[in-house]
């Protein structure tokens, strides 16, 4: 073993969603002198993706680098949501230490536990930073106890349990060794990183690198990012790629070698062991492959990725309104886009359906798949998407296994009984119930993934919008039995045209609507929710019959209730197995899988017979 430069540190920042990772990196970049004092920099600069900015979450792991007192620190901003856990697992192989950021009011949450367990298993040295200490409801001492309990529960070593602690506010731009310490700057954090996190330990020998992320560049082609495990990488040197099993994929040259400086990648002539680099020049190598000198025979061991838990069917949009909005409709275009996504995202699995017009996409959760669909619709794709289905497994004895999630719920005490009852109906088990201050209770539950599909909206209604629910994959366990589907039926349009206000007004006693007057509809499209358990075909094109006694001007008296706004996530959670979501760049529509009513009846009979 050889020690790399003592002036280099590689760290990752891990935390639950919205605990302040990206804001902290903004402050560190500013304080390192990377930006001029008068330079305009976007808030949460690391969240470069439009969806990341809109949702306020980190979806893609990203690398940045800064210089502090002649020391170089590579920092990785990781996703906090378990649906993007594939990013986290890979990225942790590139670092030697982690900063665990915890909200001073909320304490450690499920995704904190998920990411931290991965870091501790790799033997990384943690620094705990209790953030948002300026919150009125902050409780730093209690949160520190919870963090210690979490470390112990995750089988941390004695060395890992002896973690240093900082208190501060990333928003206000300070960290200190004591909760009442000087509120000045980030120097205590920089000092702790240099003192506590070891310099990268590298191996002797020729160049080797484990590819951990993949991106595309229109000029350079595929760009692979990873940490150099041994040797030196020079621009234009010959390299090859090995799969995890040692099979050689391709031979090429490192046409471009880049290191990170702030928010940019900077070309360099050579990089050394321990540094995090991005390289171009290989056309087929992907994530988890070893990029190395041609004389190397053994690949670097890569950690297996947790299996996908949910799948959806993406299919060609065959509705009567297809092609009005998007320009990417054909199955070959959809297939090429999905395959390109799967190359860079190892948490996604793509399979072709039976009829070649559909593709089964498996991932970690509803959010990950919804983000993929949202990205595709913004690129001009039109799709038909099925209800999320759970990915089952079988053990050696043939027992059917299903994914179980650990759900942490913070609710007011008055709503806890309702939540426990609804979760019990979904075959969930209450594991723990503890008071969390301010009249709230924290519930820890183990629930089948299929029981949580579509529950979030109902949960918000039951808790009057005050409840907070977080989930993380726990394990595969024996199948828990049948779970009842949606309790209500739907209102289905029986003809094609533009919806009429008068018709919608007459149908309001049948149930709440999902469309407005003037919305284009077609036969088989879902236009509202039925108050009863069965589906009902309705005519939303029927206008008022005009006679001498009924003047057209009287239509001004029609007052419609505001329709239910169906977002993409809401629509995916709402539909049943015999329904689809039609996604286009400008619309999200719900429809029956079979638009013709006779075909629907035949399909229902066939299902009942089976």
Query: 3-state DSSP call for residue 591?
Result: strand
In this prediction, residues 129-144 reach a mean pLDDT of 86
CA–CA gap between residue 110 and residue 408 (Å, rounded): 7
Structural contact between residues 90 and 60, judged by C-beta atoms closer than 8 angstroms: no
The pLDDT of residue 18: 67
CA–CA gap between residue 5 and residue 273 (Å, rounded): 9
Domain count, the chain: 4
pLDDT digits (tens, 9 = 90+) for 201-259: 777 789 999 888 777 777 787 888 888 888 888 888 999 988 888 888 888 888 889 88
Structural domain contains residue 348: no
Structural domain contains residue 67: yes
The pLDDT of residue 385: 92
pLDDT-based confidence at residue 89 (cuts at 50, 70, 90): low
The pLDDT of residue 48: 42
Best-predicted range by mean pLDDT among 300-314, 338-352, 493-507?
A: 493-507
Structural domain contains residue 69: yes
Q: Do 242 and 218 belong to one domain? A: yes
pLDDT digits (tens, 9 = 90+) for 366-425: 777 888 888 898 889 999 999 888 888 888 888 899 888 888 888 888 888 899 998 998
Range of the domain at 526: 490-579+588-609
Q: Do 7 and 107 belong to one domain? A: yes
pLDDT-based confidence at residue 526 (cuts at 50, 70, 90): very high
More confident residue, 437 or 573: 573
Structural domain contains residue 439: yes
In this prediction, residues 128-132 reach a mean pLDDT of 88
Structural domain contains residue 316: no
Residue 17 pLDDT exceeds 80: no
Strand 174-176 to 97-103 pairing: unpaired
Q: What is the CATH number of the domain that holds 247?
A: 2.40.30.10
In this prediction, residues 12-35 reach a mean pLDDT of 73
More confident residue, 12 or 457: 12
The pLDDT of residue 44: 39
pLDDT digits (tens, 9 = 90+) for 140-173: 888 899 889 888 888 888 888 889 999 888 888 8
Q: Do 450 and 562 belong to one domain? A: no
Q: What angle do CA 41, 47, 48 make, to 5 degrees?
A: 75
In this prediction, residues 12-19 reach a mean pLDDT of 74
Q: Do 175 and 85 belong to one domain? A: yes
Task: State which of 168, 201, 234 marks the end of a domain.
Answer: 201
Q: Do 401 and 530 belong to one domain? A: no
Q: Give the single-character DSSP code of 351.
A: E
Structural domain contains residue 367: no
Q: Do 462 and 514 belong to one domain? A: no
Structural contact between residues 101 and 18, judged by C-beta atoms closer than 8 angstroms: no
Tallying the residues shown for the chain, one arrives at 610
Structural domain contains residue 312: no
Q: What is the CATH number of the domain that holds 7?
A: 3.40.50.300
The pLDDT of residue 546: 63
Residue 522 pLDDT exceeds 90: yes
In this prediction, residues 519-539 reach a mean pLDDT of 90
Q: Do 510 and 602 belong to one domain? A: yes
Give the C-alpha distances (Å, rounded to integers) separating 549 from 51, 150, 241, 558: 54, 75, 82, 17
Average pLDDT for the chain: 81
Residue 36 pLDDT exceeds 80: no
The pLDDT of residue 549: 55
Task: State which of 440, 458, 478 marks the end of a domain.
Answer: 478
The pLDDT of residue 603: 87
pLDDT-based confidence at residue 464 (cuts at 50, 70, 90): confident
Residue 573 pLDDT exceeds 90: no
Q: Do 103 and 119 belong to one domain? A: yes
Q: Do 197 and 209 belong to one domain? A: no
Q: What is the CATH number of the domain that holds 515?
A: 2.40.50.250
Q: What is the CATH number of the domain that holds 456?
A: 3.30.70.240
CA–CA gap between residue 473 and residue 446 (Å, rounded): 10
Strand 165-169 to 125-131 pairing: parallel
Region class of 394: left (phi > 0), else alpha (psi between -120 and 50), else beta: beta
CA torsion sign, 302 to 306 to 307 to 312? negative
Structural domain contains residue 47: yes
CA–CA gap between residue 307 and residue 347 (Å, rounded): 7
Q: Do 444 and 508 belong to one domain? A: no
Q: Do 193 and 235 belong to one domain? A: no
Task: State which of 438, 458, 478 marks the end of a domain.
Answer: 478
pLDDT digits (tens, 9 = 90+) for 293-319: 988 888 888 765 667 778 889 999 999
In this prediction, residues 514-532 reach a mean pLDDT of 91
Report the 10 Å Cβ neighbour count for 172.
Answer: 12
Q: What percent of the chain has pLDDT over 70?
A: 86
Q: Do 67 and 196 belong to one domain? A: yes
């Amino acid at each position: 073993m050889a020690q790399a430069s003592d002036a280099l540190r590689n760290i990752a920042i891990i935390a639950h969603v919205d605990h302040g990772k990206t804001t902290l990196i903004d402050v560190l970049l500013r304080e390192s002198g990377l930006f001029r004092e008068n330079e305009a920099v976007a808030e949460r600069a690391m969240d470069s993706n439009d969806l990341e900015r809109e949702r306020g979450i980190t979806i893609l792991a990203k690398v940045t680098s800064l210089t502090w007192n002649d020391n170089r620190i590579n920092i990785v901003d990781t996703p906090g949501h378990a649906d993007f856990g594939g990013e986290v697992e890979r990225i942790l192989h590139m670092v030697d230490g982690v900063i665990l950021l915890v909200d001073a009011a909320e304490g450690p949450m499920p995704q904190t536990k998920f990411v931290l367990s991965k870091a501790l298993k790799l033997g990384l040295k943690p620094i705990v930073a209790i953030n948002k200490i300026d919150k009125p409801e902050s409780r730093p001492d209690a949160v520190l106890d919870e963090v210690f309990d979490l470390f112990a529960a995750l089988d941390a070593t004695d060395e890992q349990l002896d973690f240093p602690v900082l208190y501060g506010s990333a928003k206000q731009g300070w960290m200190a060794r004591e909760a009442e310490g000087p509120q000045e700057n980030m120097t205590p954090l920089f000092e702790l990183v240099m003192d506590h996190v070891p310099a990268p330990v590298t191996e002797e020998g020729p160049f080797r690198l484990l590819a951990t992320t993949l991106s595309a560049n229109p000029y350079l082609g595929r760009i692979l990012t990873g940490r150099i495990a041994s040797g030196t990488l020079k621009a234009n040197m010959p390299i090859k790629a090995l799969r995890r099993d040692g099979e050689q994929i391709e031979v090429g040259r490192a046409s471009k070698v880049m290191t990170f400086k702030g928010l940019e990648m900077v070309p360099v002539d050579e990089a050394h062991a321990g540094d995090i680099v991005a390289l171009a020049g290989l056309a087929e190598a992907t994530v988890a492959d070893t990029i190395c000198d041609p004389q190397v025979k053994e690949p670097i061991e890569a950690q297996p990725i947790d299996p996908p838990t949910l799948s959806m069917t993406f299919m060609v949009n065959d509705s009567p309104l297809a092609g009005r909005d998007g320009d990417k409709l054909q199955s070959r275009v959809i297939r090429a886009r999905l395959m390109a996504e799967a190359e860079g995202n190892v948490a996604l699995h793509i399979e072709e359906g039976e009829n070649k017009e559909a593709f089964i996409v498996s991932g970690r959760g509803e959010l990950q798949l919804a983000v993929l669909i949202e990205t595709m619709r913004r690129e001009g794709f039109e799709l038909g998407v099925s209800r999320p289905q759970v990915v089952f497994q079988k053990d050696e004895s043939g027992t059917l296994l299903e994914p179980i999630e650990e759900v942490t719920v913070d609710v007011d005490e008055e709503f806890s009984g309702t939540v426990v009852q609804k979760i019990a109906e979904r075959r969930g088990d209450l594991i723990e119930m503890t008071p969390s201050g301010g009249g709230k209770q924290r519930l820890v539950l183990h629930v089948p993934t299929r029981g949580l599909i579509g529950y979030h909206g109902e949960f918000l209604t039951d808790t009057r919008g005050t409840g907070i629910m977080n989930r993380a994959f726990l394990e595969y366990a024996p199948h828990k039995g049948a779970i009842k589907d949606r309790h209500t039926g739907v209102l289905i349009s029986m003809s094609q045209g533009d919806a009429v206000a008068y018709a919608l007004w007459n149908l309001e006693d049948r149930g709440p609507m999902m469309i407005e007057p003037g919305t284009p509809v077609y036969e088989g499209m879902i236009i509202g929710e039925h108050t009863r358990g069965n589906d009902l075909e309705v005519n939303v094109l029927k206008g008022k019959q005009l006679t001498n006694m009924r003047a057209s001007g009287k239509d001004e008296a029609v007052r419609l209730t505001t329709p239910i706004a169906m977002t993409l996530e809401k629509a995916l959670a709402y539909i049943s197995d015999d329904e689809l979501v039609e996604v286009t760049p400008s619309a999200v529509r719900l429809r029956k899988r079979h638009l013709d009513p006779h075909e629907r009846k035949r399909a229902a009979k066939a299902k009942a017979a089976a």
